Structure 1
Amino acid sequence: MEDEDDPVIEEIPVYLSKTLAENLYLLQYPVKASSATFDDGQVVNSCVKPINQQIKVDYALNTASKNYDSFKGEQFAIAADGKDKDRQQQKPTFRSGTMDKQSFLSSKPIEDVNRYMLCVLQDREIHGTALKGIISMRQVFSYFDKQDKRTKAEEKAEQDADADEEELKQVTVKFARTENEKVRKAREKSFNYIAKMESEEPWCETFWHTKNSTAAELERQKLYCGGSTRSGIDGALNVTSDEYLGMLISKEKTDRNIDSMLPSRVISMHKLKQMPLIDQIKNILKDAKVLTFQQIIDLLPDRSVATEKVLRTLPMAGVLIRGNWVVQSDIIYPEGSVSRTNGVPAEQMCKARDYILYRYTQCDTLERHQLALITQLPTEEIHEILNSVAKLNSDRSWSLLLPPNEDFSTNELEISDRQNAFWAAQADNFNDMEKCTKRSPKKSTRSDSKYDVKMSNG
């Protein structure tokens, strides 16, 4: 469309304010009704964890309302803090003796907020400030947790009082293993480690200013770009339309799918196009799990690449499973890495995944418990491997994500023969794994023998 068919109606200047850029957070309340608002709510307490970027806000409840159940409110307070005043905590959950507040705790739905900003329109000017973070506030019911902890503590105290003498307990000594840099980084990304760090950071009390207060108004004024700051904006945004478009497009990741076959949070086409062909194929296979050759051709950013060149490159990144391509195991589990759940080393994960892929060249479906028995991996790791190439059927068996593609095996006979030779060379190792499992005693036999011993001793 030519410019004269779509004329510019009006130009609005845009200014960037950096005064609050390091302290501006957007709070969302995703579980509240659209008609509800907390603008006029009374905040009785607020605190933050600056390092982990957590916020906790307590809103007062109107206990005098006709819709408030006073009896239930008192029961909740007793359940959380107990009946005996001598045993109450120094800082009770509800000071008034009834449930008089509701608490909201934050979580971060989006880690990367570099492309988000808060804008204000005033006097036909747009003033924008980059966000430091986006936070979702969800209601928490910590008083139920306090009730459970207090009940367990009381039961333990009663058991200790009834015990006449202290029983001897067996103590197991464990020595911590030395970990390399990669293992340490993987551990620090685990859920348990992050949760521990969040729980260890103390809460810092804060002052809450209502939206109509003088302090709140002074902070809102910082969203506007002052006259001294505007002088440098024109030069900073003096770029061409192509350069501006390039700044808007993420060069690392995109929130949209490359194709319906690819999951979200994959590498963008912009980034993919800058890679060598081998790296393009690795990333496509890694994100899409199982693909036909035609699907790989369609997903490549440069459609002009010769088919022969793609066929030569594919075996360096993937393996052929009954006419479909799957990424190689050492790309999923590079050397020095560990599995997500139990920290199984990459060498064991690659060996188990290669065995599972080999089995899919022989049969249509696999059973998870049999694979766990042969590979000697935890159930979570087997589930992780199967999810990367297969789908769960109604009979609890697992089959490949795509049906066999006999056309490719027929048309590309040379590549198919080479791939078959590769699996044939690995067959002896896989057969040894199965033989070792058959020679080992069954779990049911061991459990039966233990049961017989207990019965004879009884």
Structure 2
Amino acid sequence: MDDEDDPIVEEVPVYLSKTLSENLYLLQYPVKASNSTFDDGQVVNSCVKPINQQIKVDYALNTASKNYDSFKGEQFAIAADGKDKLQKPTFRSGTMDKQSFLSSKPIDDVNRYMICVLQDREIHATPLKGIVSMRQTFSYFDKQDKRTKAEQKAEVDADADEEEAKQVTVKFARQENEKVRKAREKSFNYLSKMESDEPWCETLWHGKNSTAAELERQRLYCSDSLRDGADSALNVDSKEYLDMLISKEKTDRNIDSMLPSRVVCMHKLQQMTLVDQIKVILRDAKVLTFQQIMDLLPDRTLAVDKVLRTLPMAGVLIRGNWVVQSESIYPDGSVSSTNGVPAEQMCKARDYILYRFTQCDKLERHQLAMITQLPSEEIREILDSVAKINSDRSWSLLLPPNEEFSVNEQEISDRQTAFWTARADKFNEMEKSTKRVRKRSSRSDSKYDMKMSNG
């Protein structure tokens, strides 16, 4: 169809507002009738789980209505809380005076959805953080079942005179590789446990006609300063505009062989600071030469000296190759994926392993486990981040030593050597402490053998 047959009737400017993009959720009520709304409903309590994006809202029931059955309401309250009410009651008034709605996520990827507002012939769009479906929950029935089972168990325990001996079966956990771990983390039981472990955060609910709600709605509009600069910001040709919109893959750099699983696209990488760019690249590629880092950076015009000055803030040098700092893999507050070892212990063990790689070509996992006092699974997790396993079950760095960098960049190489030398005393003390423990253990065994022989 020619443009003449389909003329432009009107042009409407569209502005992107990101003020609420990290906190804007769309709440849907799929089980409610289309003519039934909660616009005038009274919210008595609301709370969220921000990590798992769960929302719970309690709406008040009109217990004075002629359609409300007071007797049934009292029976529901007694069934939920019992007669003693020793714990926090579900219904404080002694009758069922509220209905609770709990959210579920019908859509995980909401990157294509926005909330748009039309005003003064302008469209203001705000990206959504999440979309949730609110459905009524009947948790008070669950409380009744739990209390009934607890009472029955207490009666059985009271009647039992003595506990009979039971056969105990010991099972050893099978070693978990990366593929199995990822599958486990996607399982229903694992996700359910993560949701249940996260505590609820109490929130304040503002009515739609309140001043606070109106102030929040104003944040859906793009500010005047951003609108004034929008025309100049988008004054680019069609190719550049598409590059800004699409997460373009830089295939001409042959990065597929170096980045096995990109966690961010090149477009997002460009928005980061240089030190964060290097952290992401090193964390994803595990071990890289300096030239590979230069090839992977989005800005090819960066000066070599600037990258060299920034590298020590993101990575450490291991025999001419760069690996990411341990704190980037195990930030404060995090734990290991298998046995939940705290980040501080994981960083300490990983730094020791990196130090050992500066001294020798191959490492044995069982020796590292004895010195670091970490489970074997955690040692495997650390080694997988920088090394590969050999046919003789030893571990070597993913890349061979790069002597050329150490020669060409003598100053930064010397500074990195001094960094490891300064920490060598602490690492040597770890090894000596392990040897002392092993010696004491061997002496104890010898004394025990002597007693047995003398007896």
TM-score range, shorter chain: 0.5 to 0.7
- Length-normalised TM-score, structure 1: 0.52
Cα distance in 2 for partners of 1:10, 1:162 equals 83
Residue 46 of structure 1 corresponds to which residue in structure 2? 46
> Amino acid of the residue matched to residue 29 of structure 1?
Y
Residue 252 of structure 2 corresponds to which residue in structure 1? none
Give runs of aligned pairs for residues 72-83 of structure 1, distance below 5 A: 72-83=72-83
Residues 26 and 250 from structure 1, CA distance in 2 versus in 1: closer, same or farther, beyond 3 angstroms?
A: farther
Which SS does the other structure have where 1:31 is aligned? Answer: coil
Offset of residue 241 of structure 1: 6.9
Give runs of aligned pairs for residues 77-156 of structure 1, distance below 5 A: 77-83=77-83, 85=84, 88-156=85-153
Aligned residues: 249
Residues 246 and 138 from structure 1, CA distance in 2 versus in 1: closer, same or farther, beyond 3 angstroms?
A: farther
Asked if residue 228 in structure 1 is aligned to residue 233 in structure 2, the reply is: no
Offset of residue 190 of structure 1: 0.4
Residues 168 and 145 from structure 1, CA distance in 2 versus in 1: closer, same or farther, beyond 3 angstroms?
A: same
> Amino acid of the residue matched to residue 172 of structure 2?
F
Whether the aligned pair in 2 keeps the contact of 1:108 and 1:134 (CA below 8 Å) is: yes
Cα distance in 1 for partners of 2:246, 2:133 equals 26
Residue 19 of structure 2 corresponds to which residue in structure 1? 19
Cα distance in 1 for partners of 2:204, 2:110 equals 26
Whether the aligned pair in 2 keeps the contact of 1:26 and 1:134 (CA below 8 Å) is: yes
Cα distance in 2 for partners of 1:146, 1:81 equals 7
Which SS does the other structure have where 2:155 is aligned? Answer: helix
Residues 95 and 187 from structure 1, CA distance in 2 versus in 1: closer, same or farther, beyond 3 angstroms?
A: same
Residues 140 and 239 from structure 1, CA distance in 2 versus in 1: closer, same or farther, beyond 3 angstroms?
A: farther
Offset of residue 229 of structure 1: 1.2
Residue 176 of structure 2 corresponds to which residue in structure 1? 179
Residues 113 and 238 from structure 1, CA distance in 2 versus in 1: closer, same or farther, beyond 3 angstroms?
A: farther
Residue 68 of structure 1 corresponds to which residue in structure 2? 68
Whether the aligned pair in 2 keeps the contact of 1:16 and 1:233 (CA below 8 Å) is: no
Give runs of aligned pairs for residues 231-310 of structure 1, distance below 5 A: 231-238=228-235
Cα distance in 1 for partners of 2:155, 2:29 equals 43
Cα distance in 2 for partners of 1:99, 1:239 equals 61
> Amino acid of the residue matched to residue 174 of structure 2?
R
Asked if residue 216 in structure 1 is aligned to residue 203 in structure 2, the reply is: no
Residue 3 of structure 1 corresponds to which residue in structure 2? 3
Cα distance in 1 for partners of 2:234, 2:132 equals 29
What do residues 279-315 of structure 1 show as CA deviations (whole Å, max 9, x unaligned)? Answer: xxxxxxxxxxxxxxxxxxxxxxxxxxxxxxxxxxxxx
Residue 412 of structure 1 corresponds to which residue in structure 2? none
Higher alpha-carbon deviation: 104-113 or 4-13: 4-13
Residues 194 and 79 from structure 1, CA distance in 2 versus in 1: closer, same or farther, beyond 3 angstroms?
A: same
Cα distance in 1 for partners of 2:134, 2:204 equals 18
> Amino acid of the residue matched to residue 30 of structure 2?
P
> Amino acid of the residue matched to residue 76 of structure 2?
F
Which SS does the other structure have where 1:134 is aligned? Answer: strand
Residue 154 of structure 2 corresponds to which residue in structure 1? 157
What do residues 102-141 of structure 1 show as CA deviations (whole Å, max 9, x unaligned)? Answer: 0000111111111110000011111110111111111100
Residue 314 of structure 1 corresponds to which residue in structure 2? none
Residues 229 and 201 from structure 1, CA distance in 2 versus in 1: closer, same or farther, beyond 3 angstroms?
A: same
Asked if residue 188 in structure 1 is aligned to residue 185 in structure 2, the reply is: yes
Offset of residue 240 of structure 1: 6.2
> Amino acid of the residue matched to residue 58 of structure 1?
D
Cα distance in 1 for partners of 2:6, 2:243 equals 22
Please give the root-mean-square deviation of Cα atoms over the aligned residues, in Å. 2.2
Which SS does the other structure have where 2:58 is aligned? Answer: strand
Residue 58 of structure 1 corresponds to which residue in structure 2? 58
Which SS does the other structure have where 1:56 is aligned? Answer: strand
Offset of residue 160 of structure 1: 0.7
> Amino acid of the residue matched to residue 110 of structure 1?
I
Asked if residue 206 in structure 1 is aligned to residue 203 in structure 2, the reply is: yes
Structure 1 residue runs without a partner (length 5+) = 253-458
Residue 347 of structure 1 corresponds to which residue in structure 2? none
Which SS does the other structure have where 2:73 is aligned? Answer: helix
> Amino acid of the residue matched to residue 35 of structure 1?
N
> Amino acid of the residue matched to residue 81 of structure 2?
D
Residues 236 and 33 from structure 1, CA distance in 2 versus in 1: closer, same or farther, beyond 3 angstroms?
A: farther
Offset of residue 230 of structure 1: 1.2
Cα distance in 2 for partners of 1:73, 1:80 equals 11
Which SS does the other structure have where 2:106 is aligned? Answer: strand
Cα distance in 2 for partners of 1:220, 1:75 equals 42
Which SS does the other structure have where 2:27 is aligned? Answer: strand
> Amino acid of the residue matched to residue 234 of structure 1?
D
Residues 236 and 111 from structure 1, CA distance in 2 versus in 1: closer, same or farther, beyond 3 angstroms?
A: farther
Structure 2 residue runs without a partner (length 5+) = 250-455
Cα distance in 2 for partners of 1:10, 1:192 equals 53
Residues 239 and 67 from structure 1, CA distance in 2 versus in 1: closer, same or farther, beyond 3 angstroms?
A: farther
Offset of residue 226 of structure 1: 0.9
Residue 295 of structure 1 corresponds to which residue in structure 2? none
What do residues 233-288 of structure 1 show as CA deviations (whole Å, max 9, x unaligned)? Answer: 22444466788789889999xxxxxxxxxxxxxxxxxxxxxxxxxxxxxxxxxxxx
- Length-normalised TM-score, structure 2: 0.52
Residues 239 and 66 from structure 1, CA distance in 2 versus in 1: closer, same or farther, beyond 3 angstroms?
A: farther
Residues 44 and 223 from structure 1, CA distance in 2 versus in 1: closer, same or farther, beyond 3 angstroms?
A: same
Offset of residue 13 of structure 1: 0.9
